[in-house]
Amino acid sequence: MFKRIFINFKKISGPSNDNQKGMKKTLVIFLFVILATSLYSQQDQGEHNYFITHTREELISKLVDLPCNIKPDDPIKTILNKLEVFLDNFQPASDYPDDIYAKAANMQALISVKQGGYGIGSVLIDSDGKIIAAAHNSQIQKHRSDLHAEMTLLTNFESSHKAKKYINLYVYKPGLTVFSSAEPCPMCFIRINTAGADTRYCTPGPEDGMVTRISCLPLSWQEMAMKHKSEIGKCSPIMQKIAHLLFYSYLLDNRGPK
């Protein structure tokens, strides 16, 4: 297509009248739009691809690219310590209003990874934007199939005394949001909706997240999900990347059931 456009452009690139000048201008604009769209789409694809990691090598390469001074040969403990130092010192900026929650959720995720577990964390936010509970995945630590971060968060919260003012029987009053380091899985997304909270998350789960697959749910669950807000948070790229890499940190030592 580009060749044909170029030939046509050449045909009219000699001495030109007003009509031909107009055509040239249109062609130049057309070419510019095509080029810009192509570049944007490549960049978008690149960003999207970042959030898919299948091998330890890919994971290490992305960890080394973070501004955390991680080296390819660093032992796992050193990698985790460097991530911890970075997260501890990270100052959320107003450009990304959800970074304060992303930082808290990522720190929860890191606690789990340091314990030998999976790197997912979540926090519960009240209607004033205050974090009122926090939890991390503990499936490996406690040998329990249900202890995803969001499940633990809600179970612990519902069992606590402070939950009374936020809950009607078992359904939360409006205004509570579960913020997760990663896009919630089907089990957690349904639990959050059953509880009546909104869902927000830091890093997309292109291969496993349920928020972007609401249309796959049975109709009544879809209807329930549509009653609540479910969205990706306004987080900085660095928080998104760290959330993603913590999620896939099990590749570092191939932890989990064999």
Distance CA 100, CA 80 (A): 20
Residues 6+ apart with CB under 8 A from 170: 158, 195
Among 79, 111, 188, 195, binds Zn ion (CB under 5 A): 188
Closer Cβ to Zn ion, 196 or 205, answer by number: 205
How many C-beta atoms lie closer than 10 Å to residue 15's C-beta?
A: 5
CB of 209 to Zn ion, least distance (A): 10
Binders of Zn ion among 119-158, rule CB under 5 A? 148
CB of 47 to Zn ion, least distance (A): 24
Binding mask 60-99 for Zn ion (x = CB under 5 A): ----------------------------------------
Closer Cβ to Zn ion, 196 or 209, answer by number: 209
Residues 6+ apart with CB under 8 A from 214: 222, 225, 226, 230
185 binds Zn ion (CB under 5 A): yes
Cβ(204)–Cβ(232) under 8 Å?
yes
Stretch that binds Zn ion, among 21-29, 180-188, 200-208, 249-257 (CB under 5 A): 180-188
Distance CA 206, CA 48 (A): 8
Distance CA 54, CA 88 (A): 28
Closer Cβ to Zn ion, 132 or 190, answer by number: 190
The amino acid occupying position 127 is: S
CB of 174 to Zn ion, least distance (A): 23
CB of 186 to Zn ion, least distance (A): 8
Distance CA 120, CA 171 (A): 24
Question: In sequence order, what are the beta bridge partners of 177?
Answer: 125, 198
Closer Cβ to Zn ion, 134 or 188, answer by number: 188
- What 3-state class would DSSP assign to 198? strand
CB of 171 to Zn ion, least distance (A): 20
CB of 137 to Zn ion, least distance (A): 8
Task: Give the footprint of Zn ion on this chain (CB under 5 A).
Answer: 148, 185, 188
